[in-house]
Amino acid sequence: MPAKTRPSLLINAAVMATVSTVLPGFLIGAMYVQVSADLDVSEAAYGWGLGSFFGAAMVGSIMLGRLAQRIGPLNQMTMALVVSIAVQLTLPATARSFGAVIGFLVVAGLANAANQTSVNLALAQAQLPRLGLAVSIKQSGLPTATLLAGLAVPSLAVTVGWRWAYVAGAGFALMSLALVRAAIGSSVVRTAPQASVPESSSRDLLLAAAVGAFLAFSAGSLNAWGVGSGVDAGLRPGTAGLFLSVGAATGVTLRLVGGWLSDTMRAAPFRVGGLSALVGSAGMAALALRSPGVHVAAMLLSFGGGWIWPVFTNYGIVRANPRAAGTATGITQMGVYVGVFVGPLVTGWLIEYSGYPAMWLAVAASSVAGGTLSIRIADRF
């Protein structure tokens, strides 16, 4: 029987896999200026492209969470990464219309949903000594993907073209696949299928999904429109992309700090996550002010507070449902995908017809609603 996987190797594989499959959705947001100019797309229509990735993930999340319980995390992560690689190589080579781009993003979104639930299941099955820290490191993969998407703007999108960013993403996913195959080859995460019925009640999981929907609506908007908003406020596209990366790096750092504290803190994870979201909402409201300096400072506050909550909410869900983490997070992640699917559609429409100030105020209000609900249900997880 194979030896138990080292925790550090497993966690590194989880982070790289997380980054790899969510990156296609984040790239399309960061490269809005270049893609819309190339394919002649309005803000409202572009919102459908941003939403298509997460809309597909929303539709497939529950089913793919159950599938992960049946076939095991290693098989499902492998499948998801192979599909993501194929999409990121085929999209730049063949997509000549925005409709084609949307089609590829739908497939990539399903791969992301498959990967996220299987990664959560792998971490839950591995019996790690610091589960909270492990979940936070894994959750740092999302702002890391935003950081990479932001860096892709000045390094690739404005130099050799936006399509090459997807080629680079495919290369990163290929490296992730090799690490996953090496790391998740242990008896710990290749056990027989476990119970697919979560310990938490369906009602509690749906309430947690609602928290994710409100907060993902706001957090997703930071990635989707951070660069476009910065340009509108007076920043150059490359500079706006750079500060998107700086904001994401702030989110990564604070997620890791939050994870380090989560295993020993007495406060309920959902309560801490809700409070951090309320802090982030102040930065989102400040983004309504059209000034380059304010935009930079508000992005840092928005990412610092408004992107920490997934560490605590996911930790609460996985800790409460150790035997069926795939199924449980499939339900709660559906709420997250609802938020990031609806978000670009609504915010794109608001930008086109009311401007960025109205959009950012709506985003801040959603963050307040999600943070408040998270605090109210904190004792259930």
- pLDDT tens digit sequence for 190-209: 444 555 677 888 899 999 99
Q: Please tell me the pTM assigned to this model.
A: 0.75
pLDDT greater than 60 at residue 5: no
- pLDDT the model gives residue 240: 83
Q: What single DSSP character describes residue 199?
A: S
pLDDT tens digits for 22-60?
999 889 887 878 888 888 887 777 877 777 888 898 888
Model confidence at 297: pLDDT above 80: yes
CA–CA gap between residue 300 and residue 247 (Å, rounded): 5
The CA distance from 268 to 375, in Å, is 9
Which CATH fold topology does 7-380 show? Growth Hormone; Chain: A; (1.20.1250)
**Residue spans per domain, the chain:** 7-380
Mapping DSSP to helix (H, G, I), strand (E, B) and coil, where does residue 44 land? Answer: helix
- The pLDDT tens digits of the residues spanning 140-186 come to 777 777 778 878 888 898 888 899 999 999 999 999 999 888 876 55
3-state secondary structure 26-94: HHHHHCHHHHHHHHCCCHHHHHHHHHHHHHHHHHHHHHHHHHHHHHCHHHHHHHHHHHHHHHHHHHHHH
